[in-house]
Amino acid sequence: MKTVTKRDATPPHLLARKRVAGYGRVSGGKDAMLESLSAQVSYYSEYIQRRADWDFAGVYADEAVTGTRDKRAEFQRLLADCRAGKIDMVITKSVTRFARNTVTTLETVRELKLLGVDVFFERENIHSMSGEGELMLTILASYAQEESRSCSENCKWRIRKDFQEGKSKNCRVFGYTQEENSFTIIPEEAAVVKQIFTDYLGGMGILAIQKKLLTQGVTFSRSGLAGLLRNEKYAGDLLLQKSFTQDHLTKRSFKNTGQLPQYLVRDNHEAIIDRAAFDAVQVEIARRTRHASPEKERYPFTGMIRCGVCGAPYMRKHAAAGTKYEKIVWICTVFNTLGKDACNNRQIPETILLSKTEEAGGFDGLQHIIAVGPGVLSFKYMGKDVRTVDLTWQNPSRRESWTPEMREAARQKSLEWRRNHGQEA
C-alpha cells in the first residue's frame, strides 16, 4: 500500500544581499574630464547605497587614455576583486565605458559570468546574466568598436592634413614655448642647448655632458640628450609625422621609418643653433655611431627592472670584474653612471633575482619588477593572474663565499697587521 506523508512548507530563505560595485572611466586628464570622473564616482556611490538590498562594494574609476583592458589599473583591480569573490554585480554607464574592443568586452563579460558576477550596462539596459544579454552585447560592442575606429580615422585625417600644410601638433620642446605653429625661444633653456651642442662638437660624450649638466642643476636622461642633438627644431626646421599610431585600439605609437610620408618645413621659426653647427653635429653623431660597439645581448631581465627610487631602468653588469669577488649584478643605470648622490638604490646579484623571481611565481605573466628600495622587490603579473608580489632580499655576506685558502690568507694578513702595530696576539 502506498504511503503519503505530508511535509510542511518551509519559508524561503531571505535572499542574500548583493555586493555591488560601480565602474567609471574617462579618456583624458583635462580638468573637465577629471570632474566627470569625480561625478561618476559620486553618482555610483549614492546610487548603490540607496538600495536596501545591496551592499556597497566600492567604485573603480580609471583616468585612461584608451579603453584597452591591460592599461587600466582600476579595471584590473575590479577584475581581481571579482575573481576573489568580493563582488556580485558591476554597474557601468555603457558598453563604450567598459571597453571599445568587442573581443575584450565579450571575454571579460563571459569570465565574470562564469564567476557568477552580473554586469549591468545602464544606457543599454542590459544585464550580462540575462538570456539575451550576450547577443545584445555582441551587437553593441561591435558598434562601439567601429565608432572608435571611425573617430580615430577622422582624427588621423585631420592631423595628416595639418602636416601637409606644414602645421605641427603642440609639443614641449626644451628651449622653446609653442602656441599652435609658433615657436618662441626661452633664453635660459636656449643657453643650455647651445652648451650641449658646443660640448658635443668639442669631443665630449653623452655621459660626460649629462654629468656636467647635473652639476649645474639640469637633469637630462642619456636618451633625452641623444634626441636633443638630433632635433631639427633647434636649426629652425620642422619635420612632421616622425611617428604614427597604427592601431586605434591599443593606440601604440611607432617610429615612422618610411611607412608614411614626412613633411619638412625649412626655416619655420627662429633657430637656436646655426645650420652649420647643427649639420656638423649630425656628421659627428654618424661617425661615432659607426665606431660604436655592436648591439648588446638581451638577457631574461633586460628591460624588465626599474628603479623605485629614481625611475631609471636597471642594467646587467659584471661587478668587481677581474677579481676573485667578480659576480653578475643588476644595477640602476643612474647609480651606475652618476653615483649614489643621484640615486642610492642597491645593486642586486643576478642569483638573488632568479631565486626571488622563482619564489614570486616565475616568468610566466611577469610584466615588470620594481626595485622599490634597498632590499625590496615588487613583482607585477598581468594576464589572467593579475597580482603584485612584494619580496625582501638580503645580500649574502662576502665571508660566506670564502674558500679555506681565502680565510687563511685573511688570517695571516690580520696577524701581520697586529705585529706591525705592536699588537702581537
End-to-end CA distance of the chain: 107
- Given pLDDT bands bounded at 50, 70 and 90, which one contains residue 194? very high
**Which strand (E) or helix (H) includes residue 172?**
none
Q: How far is CA 162 from the centre of its chain?
A: 30
Question: Which sequence spans correspond to the domains of the chain?
Answer: 18-148, 165-290, 305-394
Q: Which residues pair with 392 in a beta bridge?
A: 376
Q: What is the pLDDT of residue 309?
A: 87
Are the C-beta atoms of residues 264 and 237 closer than 8 Å to each other? yes
Measured at the CA of 175, the angle between CA 170 and CA 178, to 5 degrees, comes to 25
Q: Indicate the burial class of 335 (C-beta count within 10 angstroms; 0-12, 13-18, 19 or more).
A: buried
232/248: higher pLDDT: 232
Q: Provide the greatest CA pair distance for the chain.
A: 114
Cell 631565486 locates to 355
Q: What is the mean pLDDT of the chain?
A: 79
Class of domain 165-290: alpha beta
CA distance 334 to 210: 11
Q: 62: closest CA among 82, 49, 76?
A: 76
Determine contact, residues 63/33, Cβ cutoff 8 Å: yes
Cell numbers 634626441 correspond to 227
Of 143-147, 192-196, 316-320, least confident by mean pLDDT is 143-147
- Residue 425, C-alpha cell as written in the block: 696576539
User: What CATH architecture does domain 18-148 belong to?
Assistant: 3-Layer(aba) Sandwich (3.40)
Q: What is the pLDDT of residue 408?
A: 74
| Ranges 139-148, 370-379, 414-423: which has the least confidence | 139-148
Ramachandran bin of 360, using left for φ above 0, alpha for ψ from -120 to 50, beta for the remaining angles = alpha
pLDDT category of residue 425 using cuts at 50, 70 and 90:
very low
* Residue 37: half-sphere exposure toward Cβ, Cα within 13 Å: 16
Mean pLDDT computed over 387-416: 72
pLDDT confidence bin for 89, thresholds 50/70/90: very high
**What φ, ψ does residue 73 adopt, rounded to 5°?**
-65, -45
Q: Are 369 and 379 in contact (CB under 8 A)?
A: yes
Look at 70-74, 113-117, 361-365, 397-401 and tell me which has the smallest mean pLDDT. Answer: 397-401
pLDDT tens digits along 288-315: 888 765 555 668 888 889 998 888 899 9
The C-alpha cell at 144 is 562601439
* Burial track 388-422 (b if 16+ CB lie within 10 A, e otherwise): ebebebeeeeeeeeeeeeeeeeeeeeeeeeeeeee
- Least Cα distance to 172 among 257, 231, 216 occurs for 231
